[in-house]
Chain A
């Protein structure tokens, strides 16, 4: 099992550019999450999904969009990159109640 796969691992964007962070899981998990982690800080929830076709805002959704057309994929879209979006982004998935969340390896994004 590959688990949760995020691409790319690193990316440098210019201010105003757009990009999509990809996240795929092969565990047939219903729940998927996107977090950002600033240096020395905790994980802030951006968006989450409880199943295909259903998404909801987390703690810091501004500047981001998501979609969940399949169970496996949960891409995160940045439309107009800003320096404040420089961070490490983590995707995670979880199965039924009480199971642990599995995380991708993270994407380090720098906006210059």
Chain B
């Protein structure tokens, strides 16, 4: 079965500091893809970063980076130099070759001034 689990319903961080959001997943596929999406109060879904499972190198996009631990099926998101505009719900997601795209429960991140 394909599952995605986020165990942190809420997190907060001071502006300019670093925060890490956790995600674990399970899949029987050997080739799959992982994503972090951001959902601000506008409800718009915005891609933050993606990782291909066959790539060993962790993905990085500016202030956002992932720690991909394939054996542990862990895919955490690190946000450096947090900004007020980073306040949002963050969703971890995975899809496999069968095409099914599954999301975790979400982590509500608050960046405090």
Out of A41, A101, A106, which one reaches B101, CB within 8 Å? A101
Interface: B104 (CB within 8 A): yes
Out of A31, A35, A103, which one reaches B44, CB within 8 Å? A103
* Most A C-beta atoms less than 10 A away, residue of B103, B105, B106: B103
Whether B99 contacts A48 by the Cβ 8 Å rule is: yes
Instruction: Find chain A residues with CB under 8 A from B98 CB.
Output: 50
Whether B101 contacts A42 by the Cβ 8 Å rule is: no
Out of A45, A58, A92, A98, which one reaches B45, CB within 8 Å? A92
Min CB–CB distance A43 → chain B (angstroms): 4
Interface: B75 (CB within 8 A): no
Instruction: Find chain A residues with CB under 8 A from B33 CB.
Output: 97-98
User: Chain B 101-113 against A: per-residue CB contact (8 Å), 1 yes, 0 no?
Assistant: 1111110100000
Interface residues of A (CB under 8 A from B): 31, 33, 35, 40-45, 48, 50, 56, 58-59, 88, 90, 92, 94, 97-98, 100-101, 103, 105-106
24 contacts between A and B (CB under 8 A): A31-B99, A33-B101, A35-B103, A40-B106, A40-B108, A42-B6, A42-B105, A43-B103, A44-B103, A48-B99, A48-B101, A50-B99, A56-B100, A92-B45, A92-B101, A94-B95, A94-B101, A97-B97, A98-B33, A98-B50, A98-B52, A101-B35, A101-B93, A103-B44
- Which 3 A/B pairs are nearest by Cβ-Cβ distance? A103-B45, A100-B47, A42-B105
Interface residues of B (CB under 8 A from A): 6, 33, 35, 43-45, 47, 50, 52, 91, 93, 95, 97-106, 108
